[in-house]
Homo-oligomer: A and B are copies of this chain.
Amino acid sequence: MDAPALRRADWEPQPTDRASAPTRPERAAEQLAALAAAVDPGDRLGTKEELRARCGVSVGTFNEALRLVQARGVVSVRPGPGGGLFASRQSPMVRLGNSVLALDDDAASVADAVRLRDALDPLLVEDALRHASASDVAAMRTELERMKATTADRDGTAFVRANWALHARIAEVSPNVILRSVYTSLLDIIESHVLSVQPDEAHPLPEYIRSRYELHAALVDAIADRDHRRALELIHEHNTTMDGSATRDEATTEELPR
């Protein structure tokens, strides 16, 4: 009835070639997640042994699956009589994280990320105006210096990277953890997709760099002076004058299949 699976043929009855071959622990984890999703949070799903048998995997494999769903906050485990696996309500923050994790990397274009980032910039500036300390402003000025240093060598890529570093530093000031986290990750996404900055006939590189630099310098000044109106005006200009169009995308061509 419950003969052990000693040979591989006994426990690999699905040679159905699926994409990227989900491993057995992953499949078991999905089963568990489905089980947990089918009941109310807090409900008992059964003992490890029962569920392991239902998933049809060995102890070790089941433990791996368990670890995965636990990390996702889908189930919790309790010892003792009446113990076992329980569906647990996963916090919305975990859902956010997982929904982002589930995102297909290439499905999300850089342009999408840039658009989001631009929408968040004013919030960051607002927070900077309200919360930037003297040392924060000093750090921003340091980043500005770095930007200025790159203006000399006409290296558009170095310039935008320095620019992003400044933005990241500004973001650090915000007390809003969600905003900070999302924003810096967006910068990260954007940065990882950009290979080089290409000049544009309408905006020759040196001129573009100079104007961007001055805009950011003025922005930091406005933050230092707590000049709300000027700062918001500048960030609006920042996001309406072209910026993203001067960058070139890399990742849409998925080379390097390894």
- Which chain A residues numbered 200 to 216 have a C-beta less than 8 Å away from chain B? none
Which residues of B sit under 8 angstroms from A100, Cβ to Cβ? 93, 96-97, 100, 178, 181-182, 185
How many angstroms between the C-alpha atoms of A186 and B95 in the bound complex?
A: 10
- Whether A98 contacts B96 by the Cβ 8 Å rule is no
CB-based contact A182/B185 at 8 Å: no
Cα distance, A98 to B112, chains bound together (Å): 20
A47 interface residue per 8 A CB criterion:
no
Q: Mark A113-149, 1 if CB is under 8 A from B, else 0.
A: 1011001101100000000000000000000000000
Closest to A191 in B: B92
Known A-B contacts A116-B176, A178-B112, A179-B116; A94 and B99 likewise in contact (beta carbons under 8 Å): no
Tell me what chain A mostly uses at the interface: helix, strand, loop, or mixed. Answer: helix
Q: How far is the CA of A94 from the CA of B100 in the complex (A)?
A: 7
Residue ID in chain B nearest A59 by CB atoms: B60
Contacts of A184 in B (CB 8 A): 99
Given contacts A96-B100, A97-B98, A185-B92, contact A176 B67 (CB under 8 A): no
Report the bound CA distance from A60 to B18 in whole Å. 26
C-alpha spacing A95/B191, complex, angstroms: 13
Give a binary string over A152-183; 1 marks a CB under 8 Å from any B CB, 0 the rest. 00000000000000000000000011110110
Task: Using known A-B contacts A108-B178, A179-B112, determine if residue A93 contacts B99 with beta carbons closer than 8 Å.
Answer: no
Minimal beta-carbon separation of A188 from chain B (angstroms) = 4
Determine if B182 and A67 form an interchain contact, defined as CB atoms under 8 angstroms apart: no
CB atoms of B122 and A177 under 8 A apart: no
8 Å CB interface, A5-29 against B: 25
Query: At the interface, yes or no: A50 with Cβ under 8 Å from chain B?
Result: no
Q: Which of B64, B93, B191 contacts A103 (CB 8 A)?
A: B93
Question: Are A179 and B115 interface neighbours, CB within 8 A?
Answer: yes
Selected contact of A123 from candidates B67, B96, B119, B177, CB within 8 Å: B119
Roughly how many angstroms separate A9 CA and B164 CA in the complex, as a whole number? 51
Residues of B within 8 A of A68 (CB): 67-68, 71
Q: Please, which residues of chain B bring their CB within 8 A of the CB of A93?
A: 100-101, 103, 105, 108, 189
Please name 4 further chain A to chain B contacts, defined as beta carbons within 8 Å, in addition to the given A100-B181, A108-B176, A182-B182, sorted by A numbering: A25-B67, A96-B185, A99-B181, A112-B177
